[in-house]
Structure 1
Amino acid sequence: MPAVRILLVTQMWPTAATPELGSFLVPMVRELRAQGHEVDVAAIGRRGGSPLKYARLAGRAVAAARRRRPDVVFAHFLFPAGAAGLAAARAADAPLVVMAHGQDVANCDRRAIRAVTAPVVRGAAAVIANSRWLAARLAAHFPGVEPEVCDLGVDLAEFDPGTVAPAPWPGDHPRFLCVGALIARKNVVALADAFAALGRGSLTYVGDGPLRAELEGRPGVMLTGRVAHDAVPAWLAACDVLCQPSAIEPFGLAALEAMAMERTVVATTQGGPPEFVTPEAGVLVDPADPAALVAGLARAAAMPAPNPAARAAAGAHGSARQAARMAAVLARAVGR
């Protein structure tokens, strides 16, 4: 495949101050570069601030497009980064490829957001969704759009159980781990309640958010706060089971990373996880069923730890393979 000059535009990108922000995009960029493609990044690297930061993102993206003359603009998140990407693509007279990640599609339930997202989706040469589940919801908002399905994948070298030393874990086995924001969508309180009902082991949350206070002080539960993405493999190495029983999970990267680390997972039935969590790799649970969640924890704890079948299933989603698929979509957009 010929090398492609790519301008990546995103509203989330890690920095020294926020090393976990948008870190899921880094392996894809690294793999695209390793495969010979040139990638420049126009991004927002901080949380909060005025909405004017999105206008500044658009300005930086347009300036980069005029300066670098990319073959294609690759925007992540439909809006507002997708709108910035569309402006950059027009400035460079290049095609736009935009990738939906989840919340950006859910936001389209609101008429105003759907209205400003429509020009991005309609103006893109290709639209990518990270799961079939998400693609169906995106197509429902924008009839006639046929998203490509391709996830970001997992770096199988970074998440290699043979090379990662486990983080210190003071609790008993079975050791349950939850990685992600402490928010309602992640179902973190229901997970803590199910763990209490199970009555054994220990549960660690890696992440932070507004529900932290509802989890603090519970017996057997530890909270680490936010950690850099490169610290996550060590926590996965220390656990027996990764838990992601979200109310909705458009893809489920934490579950995939755990599987790459040979860890059994408990994952939601609502969203992307059923597309890659095999029966040998973990347990799928209805997030609205407390009894099912307790039973799922018990079943997962009885599965092998480590679990080589989980890594075998994750192998189909290696970041190198997924980046090559992304590059093929980008190359097709350039060739149109």
Structure 2
Amino acid sequence: MPEPILEIRNLEMFFPVKGKVFQKEKDFVKAVNGVNLKVNKGETLGIVGESGCGKSTLARTLVGLLEPTAGDILFEGKSILGSGRKQMHQLRKDIQMVYQDPYTSLNPRMKAGEIIAAPLKAYRMTDNLERRVKELMDRVGLKAEDYAKFPHQFSGGQRQRIGIARALALNPKLIILDEPVSALDVSIQAQVINLLEDLQKELGLTYVFIAHDLSVIKHIADQVAVMYLGKIMEVSDSESFYQDARHPYTNALLSAIPFPDPEKEKKRRRLVLGGELPSPADPPSGCVFHTRCPLAQDRCKMEIPCLEPKDENTEHLVSCFYPIHHGTPVPSENN
């Protein structure tokens, strides 16, 4: 069995909502609600879901930018919550993050070389600093003469390469990638994903790759988890996930991926979701997905399904009372 480098256990991240009367805390936004996941060393876990499902909140919690309400996060078998100052100092070297928007995640007043050098200076790793920074730039596909340029002088893809180089500076073991290609053109997305795959092979990196596009996740993830309103709906190895997705929400996301063949695109069946994404401040009772699920029954309104295997594949987990089996007819726009 592969060795998990990261374990997420019953993680919750609730944000208080203040009421109008005397500004008292009235309720909570349940951004992350009982998440359990494992990430194997040297592999990529892809986390996908609609905007507002809690993906980015989960990412910020994993790197210590947010203190979770409950649960635990284990890195290399040790809890990182409540860590002392010395331990957190080391953890920030081992766990790095690449942010979504390369236009806002870089300081516009700093040159590219200064941005990449900042983590090295923070950890007093300043021997041969300029040479080290230029080596990092070369590794991510930037030129040595780019060292003295400002962020506005780069394209979006080049800016994201600066962000990746900055994340690599401290030789991390785990990188959290929060929708790192969503702000880029499709052709540039492919280049950045190929770069990330090459770096993973060369350096033995582990990734948590967050996206809203399953077609992007397909090219890089070894394991895929689907989030909805702060909960994990389905998790599986990539091959099983794309060949035999079981949750109705997952099938709806998959059916939204366009086919390159126009004829096949016309004939395909789609699983269409009704209604709007409910507010995480007031999630539905029972299964949080039942208000939009075409297969929902009375039980779904009252009971919360467990994330568990539904067949002999014990690694394919589904949070659904009535999971879809391969070939099961489901309501679609073409029916």
TM-score where L is the length of structure 2: 0.32
TM-score where L is the length of structure 1: 0.31
Greater share of residues in helix: 1
Higher relative contact order (Cα pairs below 8 Å, separated by 6+ residues):
2
